[in-house]
């Protein structure tokens, strides 16, 4: 089955390269407080969005896409069944709702959305593209009541997740973490007695998104400046790496990037 949005991702990558933009494959945040969404009806298509990124001297754009999965249909069917039982809906109503949702199973494997994003001044700028059929699927399931949870499963406190994710991503040692275990350890050290109350994996995932979109660029600029200053003081790359707590290869890259910007 033809997948127009998957084809679109290649067009985005090619066009980004033609504008001198580097594509970073990463999730784009959906509900961060400091996020703004491109309105295609007013600003034009994704090419205008990328042109805007270039005009703002952005060097990296974030790109992500996800396929539609059969499990989304299964979840929606289970949600409808639960809702209809609660509302004493008759069998014909239940059958009609189930049939409409079931019709989307043939879309499994197709790309459900494409996100492009860039970050300027701590603000995430996001362009999102859905196919019409996915809009219809969302509309069909949007009027359902609160998301169904398994028995005994606690609802995730999004405010708590956002709070600790931002604190974790802002920690000076976060950038040096190489695994989720290290990020978990850092969060535990940061939260202390509150650690047990934190939804662990949603917080770690959100922290990584915040770091990539909002923190990493600033940290790279800070490290680049420090590396150049130490270089000017006569330190070699091994000494700079030891002083900054990073690898020699990373020092080399920071110095090269700093030289490029000043040339």
How many CB atoms are closer than 10 A to CB 168? 24
Residue 238 structure tokens: 């091994």
SS3 204: helix
Contact 117, 126 (CB under 8 A): yes
For tokens 């020699």, name the residue: 248
For tokens 């109503």, name the residue: 93
Of 10-14, 122-126, 142-146, 210-214, give the lowest mean pLDDT range: 142-146
CA angle 191, 31, 120 (to 5 degrees): 90
Q: How far lies 44's CA from each of 55, 63, 111, 117, 151, in Å?
A: 15, 18, 21, 15, 45
Q: Supply the pTM of this predicted model.
A: 0.50
Contacts of 48 (CB under 8 A, 6+ apart): none
Question: Residue 140 pLDDT > 90, yes or no?
Answer: no
Span 214-261, pLDDT tens digits: 766 777 777 788 888 898 999 998 898 888 777 787 788 778 766 666
Q: If pLDDT is split at 50, 70 and 90, which confidence band does 9 have?
A: very high
């Amino acid at each position: 089955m033809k997948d127009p949005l998957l084809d679109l991702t290649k067009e985005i990558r090619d066009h980004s390269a033609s504008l001198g933009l580097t594509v970073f494959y990463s999730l784009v945040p959906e509900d961060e407080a400091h996020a703004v969404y491109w309105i295609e009806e007013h600003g034009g298509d994704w090419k205008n969005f990328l042109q805007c990124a270039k005009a703002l001297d952005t060097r990296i754009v974030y790109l992500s896409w996800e396929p539609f999965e059969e499990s989304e249909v299964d979840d929606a069917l289970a949600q409808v069944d639960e809702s209809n039982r609660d509302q004493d809906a008759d069998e014909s109503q239940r059958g009609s709702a189930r049939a409409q949702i079931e019709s989307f199973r043939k879309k499994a494997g197709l790309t459900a959305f494409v996100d492009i994003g860039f970050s300027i001044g701590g603000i995430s700028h996001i362009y999102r593209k859905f196919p019409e059929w996915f809009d219809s699927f969302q509309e069909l399931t949007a009027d359902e009541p609160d998301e169904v949870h398994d028995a005994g499963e606690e609802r995730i406190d999004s405010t708590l997740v956002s709070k600790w994710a931002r604190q974790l991503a802002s920690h000076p040692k976060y950038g040096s973490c190489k695994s989720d275990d290290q990020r978990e350890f850092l969060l535990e050290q940061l939260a202390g007695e509150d650690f047990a109350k934190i939804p662990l994996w949603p917080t770690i995932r959100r922290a990584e998104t915040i770091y990539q979109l909002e923190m990493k660029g600033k940290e790279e600029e800070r490290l680049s400046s420090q590396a150049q200053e130490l270089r000017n003081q006569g330190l070699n790359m091994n000494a700079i790496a030891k002083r900054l707590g990073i690898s020699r290869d990373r020092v080399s890259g920071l110095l090269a990037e700093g030289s490029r910007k000043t040339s």
